Structure 1
Amino acid sequence: MRCVIFGAGKIARGFIGHLLYLSNIPFTFVEKADALADLINERGQYTVNILGAPEQNCLVKGAKALKFNQKQEIAEAIAEADAVFNAVGGKNLGDIVPFLTAGIEKKAKKGGKINFVTCENWKKPADILRDGIAAGISEEARPYFEENVGITEAVIMRSAIESDAELLKKDPLIVNVQNFWELPVDASRLKGELPPIQGLKLIASFTGFLERKFYTYNAANGTVSFLGPCSAMKKSPMPPTMRGSLKSWTVYTVRPHALCQQNTTSHWMSNWRLPSPLSESYRITPL
């Protein structure tokens, strides 16, 4: 089993790469920024710090990356892979379509099924990739694409934050992440099976799952990130006033999205285990 990860940012390294490493599945990053790819290849490892649970910190070894100008190597890596993940940012999905298309065309000659899993905070990212690939795939590879290629979506509910300067000096690839371990994936779009990844949770009824996450979990992240500095919060636990604001706020957000308010609130609030002491630089950052 092998995997490819498009993007080598905080979520790609600190969640997807982390879970694959813990699952003993070899993987290769594909990164647009040459400097970041060079750094990964030079160091070959990076640290994942689990906020609030330092006993679960992990040194991910064997890290490697391909650059966008290595088109043949990228296509070959996709052809040899069982699954391809992407965490590049929704607005950049179009940039990776040509690479995915070339990889699928090479995979078609080798045979076997392959799944592509989007890990983006973006509406209908799987449809964007599928439509883009369908528009550019060769007629020779089209039957393979339609019958053997799954393009599905994951919901990313592990947040990542910036490391402080001292930690970055020791490990410029270090990632500080939330203590959350599940990777929900839309099972209905898969072709065959995904590799046995730690934390993988296949969801049969996935419709609206990702969009609802925007209005609950992501909105909660934004609320805490804004109210924390305003209240000069520097350590856990979360102040009662902030917790009360989140609870009352969910009454209005969950109803249009067919969610149970009590279950939804308790689920994402249970994942807000803030580190103590809380760094002054604590903030949620873009994927």
Structure 2
Amino acid sequence: MSEMKAIHFGGGNIGRGFVAEFLHKSGYEVVFVDVMDAIINALQQNKSYTVTEVGTSDTKSKTIDNYRAINSKTDEDKVVEEIATADIVTCAVGPNILKFIAPVIAKGIENRKKDSPIAVIACENAIGATDTLRKFIEEKLSDSTKSNIQDKARFANSAIDRIVPMQDEDAGLNVKIEKFYEWCVESKPFLPSQPPKIEGVHFVEDLTP
């Protein structure tokens, strides 16, 4: 079996310290995508970074490796290729940025090389963020892809909750993060198949509180 691959938009603290950590421990190769030169360059130059859980007497540190990083500003074609062969796309870019990442995701969906649909999960501090992202993506899709979208992609809303405290000035890529977390993802969009295997994610039928 080939290695599972996840594309994550947003190389900030939530992306590196929360979303990518879960994907990493679930066995995915993580491909970070960002437009910030400093973050992408740092990820490309460092083979690993550390995520440290704080807020309890039992401090735990985890090493995150097996990742790559692409600057979507200069290498959009590479991002499209990666999405075409990935299992999951996640993002933590801020709700106002969703419309800017949608076109490249749409191109990746149009060019899908895998038989199975890609899971699209927006990890934003906003209700229905994946629905919002889907709307922007579908505006860029061809009619034929839109009519068969279930074969190409499955879109699931999520709710995330994790506190990222102030980071040390010299932390670099390393992230300190609170131990408590919640990451719930809708399960219905993946039926009749199983949802993607992401350790620590709570799949629920309904995200309504």
1 or 2, which has the higher strand percentage? 2
Which residues of 2 match residues 200-215 of structure 1 at below 5 A? 200-206=201-207, 208-209=208-209
Matched-pair identity in %: 28
Q: Which sections of structure 1, spanning at least 5 residues, go unmatched?
A: 210-287
Deviation at 1:63, TM superposition (A): 2.9
Partners of 1:63 and 1:2 in 2: CA distance: 10
Residue in 2 that maps onto 1:159: 163
Q: TM-score, normalised by structure 2?
A: 0.89
> d(CA) in 1 for partners of 2:133 and 2:197?
24
RMSD: 1.8
1:98 and 2:103 aligned: yes
**Deviation per CA, 1:127-175, whole angstroms, max 9, x where unpaired?**
211111222101232233244421112211111122223xx2xx40111
2:131–2:157 Cα contact (<8 Å) kept: no
Structure 2 unaligned segments of length 5 or more: list them.
none
Residue of structure 2 equivalent to 1:215: none
- Counting matched residue pairs gives 203
Residue 199 of structure 2 corresponds to residue 198 of structure 1: yes
> Equivalents in 2 of 1:9, 1:151: separation in Å?
23
Measured in 1, the distance between the counterparts of 2:97 and 2:188 equals 25
Amino acid at match of 2:206: S
- Partner Cα separation in structure 1 for residue 176 and residue 6 of structure 2: 23
Q: Which moved more, 1:190-199 or 1:126-135?
A: 190-199
User: Aligned with 1:29: secondary structure?
Assistant: strand
Letter in 2 for 1:29: F
Do the aligned residues in 1 keep the contact of 2:49 with 2:173 (CA within 8 Å)? Answer: yes
TM-score of the two chains, using structure 1 as the length reference: 0.66
What CA deviation, in whole Å up to 9, does each residue of 1:185-237 have, x standing for no partner? 0112235334322101101122x34xxxxxxxxxxxxxxxxxxxxxxxxxxxx
* In 2, Cα distance between equivalents of 1:195 and 1:127: 18
Cα offset for 1:182? Answer: 4.0
More divergent stretch after superposition (21-30 vs 83-92): 21-30
SS of 1:64's equivalent? strand
Which residue of the partner structure matches residue 142 of structure 1? 146
Q: Find the aligned partners of 1:19 and 1:154 in 2 and give their Cα distance.
A: 14
For residues 193 and 75 of structure 1, do their structure 2 counterparts lie closer, same or farther at Cα, with a shift above 3 Å needed?
farther
Q: Does the aligned pair in 1 maintain the 2:156–2:186 contact within 8 Å?
A: yes
Q: Structure 2 residue aligned with 1:83, among 72, 88, 92?
A: 88
Task: Measure the CA separation in 1 of the matches of 2:128 and 2:206.
Answer: 15
In the alignment, structure 1 residue 21 sits paired with structure 2 residue 24: yes
State how far apart, in whole Å, the 1-side matches of 2:24 and 2:124 are. 20
CA distance in 2, matches of 1:64, 1:18: 14
| 1:36 paired to 2:39 | yes
The structure where helix makes up a greater share of residues is 1
Structure 2 SS opposite 1:16: helix
Contact 1:50/1:56 (8 A) holds in 2: yes
Report the counterpart of residue 126 of structure 2 in structure 1. 122
Correspondence list, 1:234-253, <5 A: none
Larger radius of gyration: 1
Paired residues of 1:23 and 1:197 also in contact (CA < 8 A): yes
Query: 2:180 aligned with 1:180, yes or no?
Result: yes
